[in-house]
Amino acid sequence: MDGEPRTDEGASPTVPPSDGSTTADARVEAGDGAPPPAAPPDEDASTSTGGSDSRRGWSRPVAAVATAAVTVAFGFALTTQIRSTAEPQDEVVGREEDLVVILDEINQREETLRQQLGETRQTVEDLSSGRQESGAALEEARSRAEAIGILAGTLPAGGPGLRLTVQDPDGAVPPSVILGAIQELRGAGAEALEVDGVRIVVSSAVTGTPGDLRIDGQPLSAPYEFRAIGPPAAMEVALNVSGGVVADIGRVGGEARVEQVDSLVVDAVVD
């Protein structure tokens, strides 16, 4: 219609600005480089102004923080410089303390070595004096070995003892009487014993028949002679006990004679 204004097809329609933000968004989308018109003062404008003031308010703490950071960095650098300058003196002090500790350890080790040296010297003295004790112990060991040899019949023996002579005119003394005499003498403390030149040992055996007696296969000849090394009185009592060996010999027609001897030799040995 003629009365209506015509709109140019190539021109963009003008959009009435409702607020400042809408106008700015429209210009950004249209790509118009012209400066935007001043927005009417309203609540949004005041809000925008308040935002710029807020940004200026925030920039002040940032500057303060930056200044504080620079100050801290400078202080740290200064402290580091002071510490690096003081390190040689501290290091010297530390070295002196270490030397004191090392010196104490050396003194302790020296004391320990002195104690060990004293103990070693004492041990040497003990060993030196122990030689005599060892000699005494060796002598005692030899004495024990000799005693064992005597009991085993491998060594001769001598000393106080007893001699028993058995007469058997009829040849009636049985092997049991000879064995009984040996057992009584041993029980009374005989250390070494021989009968008619035959050494009596633990394994000795009396065999045969009356008139034909043998000890370990060796023949005996009357009168039978016993030689025993040991306590003479005790052995004599053992033989003369009532109902003992002497009585048994007399019962079969034999005769026993017991004699204590101060020094007697038993020289028969076994292989």
**Domain boundaries along the sequence of the chain:** 39-129, 153-266
Q: Which fold has domain 153-266?
A: Alpha-Beta Plaits (3.30.70)
pLDDT per position in the chain (271 positions), as tens? 444 444 444 444 444 444 444 443 434 343 444 444 454 444 444 444 444 444 444 445 444 444 444 444 445 444 444 344 444 555 544 556 666 666 666 667 667 766 766 676 666 666 566 655 566 666 777 777 887 888 889 999 999 999 999 999 999 999 999 999 999 999 999 999 999 999 999 889 999 999 999 999 999 999 999 999 999 999 999 999 999 999 999 999 999 999 999 999 999 999 8
DSSP string covering 142-169: HHHHHHHHHHHTSS-EEEEEEEEEEE-T
How far out from the chain centre does Cα 83 lie? 52
- Alpha-carbon separation of residue 101 from 95, 97, 98, 222 (angstroms): 10, 6, 5, 96
Percent helix, percent strand, percent coil in the chain, to nearest 5: 55, 15, 30
Find all residues with CB under 8 Å of 210, minimum gap 6, and list them: 168, 171, 172, 173, 174, 175, 252
Residues 131, 135, 137, 141: is their CA dihedral positive or negative? positive
Nearest of 247, 227, 238 to residue 183 by alpha carbon: 238
Nearest of 29, 53, 25 to residue 39 by alpha carbon: 25
Residue with tokens 């009968």: 195
